Amino acid sequence: MAPRDRHEEFAGLHASGCFLMPNPWDAGSARMMSAMGAKALATSSAAHAFTLGRPDMGTISRDEALAHAEAIVAATPLPVNGDFENGFTDDPHGVAETVRLAAEAGLSGCGIEDTMMVGGNPPYPADLAVERIRAASAAARAIGRPFVLTARADGVLTGHYDLAEGIRRLRAFEAAGADCLYLPLPPGKTELAQIITAVSRPVNALAAGPLRDLDVAGLAAMGVRRISTGGQVARVIHAALRDCLDGLLTSRSLSGLKAGAKGAEIDALLARGAGET
């Protein structure tokens, strides 16, 4: 798939139906996800931070995020969306520059949050949050090829504002030019339905919290266009690593190693995920 084709494919995935977009943390996990049938991938600030031995939320620099994104883009033929937190800057012009650099890195889209990367992660004032998305949208439109801009309202997740304020922000982000709207971790299915009916652009749902009790078909039936996993797959892998090492180093048992995949199977999946025949 040529680079322009993957960008057009990503935009097309948002036009109808519902697709699952898992979040890898390195080239190997990206290729495994591709081999298993993913149609698109996305970076995850949390999963990336874990690979560097850091906590989530504001510990990754823009240069690090861009280099990481380039590695994920190069790993498979699939379109890739970038998790770029707050755009790595407060200033709308800086957010626009981040979008431009994201496109240069080969990404087919990126997400911009309304959350400051300072203590407590407070939201930006509403007017500034909208201006940041307006600047990001203008930069996305100037790229000259499809680029899906996702605007995130994270205050419900962080506990700084309620669902009504989150929906107000999503509507304003839509008016400012966002292509996809995203409010992570609404309290439940009823609140997610309110979000979907409040906007006309595609809505992303995070497979975390109460939404893990649903399935892809159920979310699709509600009108969700895109489902991301955020750092959840990386957390599952870290849980497996914890349990395996607990068996080895605490219980002194080797039995946990029996669950490992065969090397030949992994090799074949990695080759398939890279697009090799």
DSSP conformation letters of 15-71 = TSS-EEE---SSHHHHHHHHHTT-S-EE--HHHHHHHTT--SSS-S-HHHHHHHHHH
Round to whole Å and give the CA distance between 169 and 149.
Answer: 15
Q: How many domains does the structure of the chain reveal?
A: 1
Domain contains 48 = yes
Question: Does residue 1 have a pLDDT over 70?
Answer: no
Q: What value, to the nearest 5°, has the Cα angle with vertex 116 and ends 113 and 140?
A: 35
For residue 23, what is the domain's CATH number?
Answer: 3.20.20.60
Nearest CA-CA partner of 79 in 15, 132, 1, 180: 1
Write the pLDDT tens digit of every residue in 84-143: 999 999 999 999 999 999 999 999 999 999 999 998 899 999 999 999 999 999 999 999
Mean pLDDT across the chain:
95
Is residue 165 situated within a structural domain?
A: yes
Q: In what order do the strands lie in the sheet with 203-206?
A: 19-21, 226-228, 203-206, 180-182, 148-152, 109-113, 80-83, 41-42
Between 169 and 120, name the one with better pLDDT.
169
249 occurs within a structural domain:
no
Whether 96 is covered by a domain: the verdict is yes
pLDDT attached to residue 258: 86
Note the pLDDT of residue 266.
93
- Under DSSP, is residue 7 helix (H, G, I), strand (E, B) or coil? helix
Q: What percentage of the chain has pLDDT greater than the value 90?
A: 93
Alpha helices in 199-277 (DSSP H): 216-222, 232-245, 263-273
**pTM, entire model:** 0.95
Q: How many CA atoms lie within 13 A of 181 on its CB side?
A: 28
* Residue range(s) defining the domain that contains residue 73: 3-233
Question: What pLDDT is recorded for position 27?
Answer: 98
